Each structure stands twice: as structure tokens, then as C-alpha cells.
Structure 1
Amino acid sequence: MSRPDDRATTPTRRRPVPEATAESYLSHGPSLVMLLVASAVAFLVGVRFYVDTMPAVSTLLWPLYADSPTAIALATLSLATLLPTIGQPLAATPTNRPLAYLHTFAFVWLIKYGLWVVIALNRRVGLYIGFDADALYAYWGIIGTHLLFVVLAFAILHYGRTTRGALGLSLGLLLANDLVDYGFGYHPPLRYEPGIVVPTLTVVLSFVAVALAAWQFDRLSDATAA
């Protein structure tokens, strides 16, 4: 017979990050603050990368051009909503419609661009992989940090909720982002021309990220009906 805490400590398809792990990092002040600081630093590093490689991009388009920093910024805002409930279980986190939109946006951006980097760099892996100082950052470091995007997205599932409106708007914004990236040429800097494969896979990732959100998130109506 399963022990009562098995569900909290065992990963599942809908909750790949176990509840106990999410609680240990997100419900305690020191670990949450450290995570927020790390997210802020990662945002600044990401912005610096895009600024150094940025063509003439309108300021209004920066959130759609600097894809990974946008994902980190949304995640940081999502995590910051936990500060008023430090020390309480994640299940006690307040839920409302604006928060559902924020948590949904954070999730889909983290999933999409966490996976996008893995696909994009491995599409022409010979241009990136290696074990010298440059490759340690340009391949292993970037892929490693972006896979953490996915882990963080799965942690958001333990306190976030979604709605049909949030899912629909998320998909619309992600596809608009794809149009800006590949229709207007403001895609993230790569060491090769993206051609047709990378843009196609990017659009597929938009649908995948929203489909995962629709399946994995609890709905706001479920939370408020209790």
C-alpha cells in the first residue's frame, strides 16, 4: 500500500516536479528570495546578450525579440506573487483571473523558449558543441540554463491556475512572437540562417506549450468552486 506522502514526492505526468520539491523551494523565504535573485541576474545576462547582438529593433518589439529574457521576466513576476504567502503551503496561494493570465504566460514562455534553444542549437550542433571555454557557455551553459526554464515552468503548476481566455491569448501572443521573429527577421541570434525548419518547429512549439498548459494546469473555476 502506498504511503500517504507518496503522491507529494513522486513525479507524475501532470506534475513532473513533485509537490514536496516545489514546496521546499517556493514556500520558504530564503529559497524563494534566492530564486528571485537568480532569476533577476539571469534576466540581466539575457538582456546583455540580446543588446550586444541586437539589430535596429524598435523598443516596443523588445519583449518579442528578446524571447528568453521575456520568459524570465514573466517567471520572476509569477514567483514574486508568492512573497505575501511565504511560509504557507502553495495550495494556500491566492488565485484570481489576472494571476491566472500571468502564471499561464510565464508557463508557456518558459516551456517554449526552454525547448526552443535545445532544438535550435542542436539543429546545427557542429557550430556550437565542444569542450573549450566558448562551447562551455555557448552550448552546454545555454542549454543547461534553458532546460531549467522547463523545470521552473513545471513548478508553477503547483500554485498557478489557468483559464480558456488565458490559454487563447497565450497562443495568440506566441504566434505573434513567431511572426515578428521570422516574418520580420527579428529571431534570436543564431550562428546559421534558420531556413524553414526552425521557424516551422517554433510555431509547433507555440501549440505544444499551450497544449501542455491546457492539460497540466488546474483551471481557475476548479479552484474557486471549492
Structure 2
Amino acid sequence: MVGSEGQSPTLRRPLPEQYAESYLSDGPSLVALLVVTATAFLVGIRFYVDTMPDVPTLLWPLYADSPTAIALVTLSLATLLPNVGRRLRSAPSNRPLAYLHTLAFVWLIKYGLWTAIALNLRPALYFGFSGTAVYDYWFIIGTHLLFVVLAFAVLHYGRTTRGALGVSLLLLVVNDLVDYGVGLHPPLRYEPGVVLPVVTVSLSVGVVALAAWQFEPLADG
């Protein structure tokens, strides 16, 4: 049962249950969080729109990786609205929701970590304390690491299935092929080379394995 491990953080539930409950079971807090994630999505889209005039519309979700992660978790969190006032363990649970929550989790973890790794593979191009670097390095990394916190919140109400895990892995690998095979990876100040694609594919496999371990399985999944 989600939350059965108590309120203290554990490896399977790094975000304590009490914090997840206080933000996601309370109506005003949940709505405020949805406003924040929706705003973050719009800000992210604005950044990518300025860099993707030649990207086919159908490939935008695979090019704008971080906004896609935020869109998925916004939809995931929105499914909690009918559950406001009740414990997260009482949240709706079915196969379509298992797919949504799993996709939100893996996209958040992958691109939260990917951003920090990508910027630190060439720190001389990003790191610093100037006004530009404060945004391009510290702010970007800080906000993207919050993706991981959001992903850990999903564990308190989401479930997964083998099908959801398989589809998640397939879509992540397709995303990697689009990023590095077609060249539609997120904007960088350097060419990806070999190391970043290898790291990216490894993250795809790793986050799905993490989801398989951390999520509670759907009862009939």
C-alpha cells in the first residue's frame, strides 16, 4: 500500500508521506501546485518555441523534453482533484492512470537529471556567478532537480503495470533516437558527441528500472 512505509523518508519513498499528503490532499495547495506546474509548462514552451522554427509540429513533444515532463505531471496531479480531502491512498487507480503516472515519473526523473548532467559535461560553458550564469546554470539546474521531487510525490498515489513500464521505455528510447539520430535534442552550447547520447540512453533504462522498483503495482496489472 502506498504510504504504508510511514512518514519517514525511505529509498522507495524519498519524499515523506506527510509532505505529499499536506500538498496533494489539500484543495488550495493542490490547485496552487497545478498553477505553478502549468505556468512552468508555458515558460518552458516559450523557451523551446524560440529555438524550434524548423521542428515538425508532431515532434514537438519529443523535442521539448522538459515541457513534456511538466505537462505529464500536471495531468497526473489533476487526477487528484476528485480525491481532495481524502488520503492519497484513496486516489483513483486504474490502468490508464497507471500509464499516465508512470510516464510522468520517468519523464520527470530523466530530464531533471539529464539537464544537470548535460550542463556539467561542459561546465566552462555554463558555470559561473554572473547574471547570465545565475539563470543559465544555477536556476536551470535547480528548477529541473525539482522535477525529481515532483516525481517522488507521484509515488504516493500512482501505480504502475508491466505494460506502462514497457511503453515508457519504448517512448523514452524513441525520444533518444529523435534527439540524437535526427538531431532534435534540447538546445546546448556544444555538440553532444558520444558521451551525452550514451548517458541519455542509460538514463532511459535506469529511470524505468527505478519506476519498476519504486512504484506499487496496480492490483490487476
TM-score (norm 2): 0.96
**How far apart are the structure 2 equivalents of 1:79 and 1:133?**
34
Which of 71, 76, 98 is the equivalent residue of 2:69?
Answer: 71
Task: Give the root-mean-square deviation of aligned CA atoms.
Answer: 1.4
Q: For residues 79-124 of structure 1, what are the alpha-carbon distances to aligned partners after superposition, in whole Å with 9 as ceiling and x for unaligned?
A: 0000011010000001000000000000000000000001000000
Q: Using a 3 Å threshold, how does the CA distance of structure 1 residues 90 and 177 change in structure 2: closer, same or farther?
A: same
Alignment of 1:104-119 (within 5 A): 104-119=102-117
Deviation at 1:133, TM superposition (A): 1.2
Moved >2 Å (runs of 4+): 5-9
Q: Deviations over 1:104-157 (max 9, x none)?
A: 000000000000001000000111111111111100000000000000000100
Match of 1:21 in 2: 19
Q: Mark the runs of 5 or more structure 2 residues left unpaired by the alignment.
A: none
Query: How far 1:8 sits from its partner (Å)?
Result: 2.9
Give, as a single letter, the amino acid of the residue that structure 1 aligns with 2:109. Answer: I
* Counterpart mapping for 1:160-199 below 5 A: 160-199=158-197
Size of the alignment, in residue pairs? 219
Alpha-carbon separation, structure 2, partners of 1:63 and 1:136: 27
Query: Distance in 2 between the 1:169 and 1:75 partners?
Result: 17
Shift in Å, 1:71: 0.2
Q: Distance in 2 between matches of 1:6 and 1:178?
A: 36
SS of 1:129's partner is coil
Amino acid at match of 2:134: L
Report the CA distance between 1:9 and its aligned residue: 2.5
Structure 1 unmatched runs, 5+? none
TM-score by length of 1: 0.94
The residue that corresponds to 2:33 in the other structure is 35
Cα distance in 2 for partners of 1:44, 1:175 equals 25
Match of 1:211 among 203, 209, 212: 209
Deviation at 1:7, TM superposition (A): 4.8
